[in-house]
Structure 1
Amino acid sequence: MDEQHDELGAPALAAARAELVRSVDLQAGRVRALPLTRLERAAEGERRTRAEQLHEAAQALADLAADAEGQPRRPLPVLAVHGLGDQLAVVGHDVAAAGDAAALAAAHEQLARVRRAL
């Protein structure tokens, strides 16, 4: 998206992008470090497994990136559990690269959901 039409100035938008990359990398690292069996189970009180919740968050990030790039939304493949951290990192970085301030804020909301799911 054209930074001139964004509500943040270029320096603030660059800082917001860098913060999103930091957050994405942190959460992706947490996912990679978890035992696979934990990802395959639902947290207490949840109906869906952590892996299902992570895939949903990754899909939301992919949708944000597609919207920001003016591309059609496409379904993400359901990866083996050990690939979820990488999938999250890729789509999160895509949002950071192309998103406007609103997309970056929405991406942070998705990452907060990831944190709670883990």
Structure 2
Amino acid sequence: MKLSSKAALAALTALLTVAATVAHADDAVTVKLDMADGNLTPARIEVPAGKRIRIEVRNTGKGAAEFESVELRKEKVLAPGADSVVVIAPQTPGEYKFFDDFHQSARGVIVVK
């Protein structure tokens, strides 16, 4: 069976798209964050530079919680018992603060090395 040049190009494009999607998923670093009535566990998250950051956030507290980072322009509100994911683009080395907007004393930092 001989493919036309259009069909071959379409097949190659589809194959490269799948390969790029798999490679893109592999470059993410996943960390877990527990938020519970003003407590963040862990409060310090260390990740490598140049990798997407995938934070699996879970609210195990009795009240609402909100993951927020002004520097990273991210926020996510979670009802009690809820969990969600915050995805952050690759960052340069440095420290990026985050907090629970409903419990202002709950503060953490993402350290990119």
TM > 0.5 fold call: no
Decide which structure has greater strand share.
Answer: 2
Instruction: Kindly name which structure, 1 or 2, has the bigger radius of gyration based on alpha carbons.
Output: 2
Decide which structure has greater helix share.
Answer: 1
- The structure showing larger relative contact order (alpha-carbon pairs under 8 Å, at least 6 residues apart) is 1
Provide TM-score, normalisation by structure 1.
Answer: 0.29
Provide TM-score, normalisation by structure 2.
Answer: 0.30
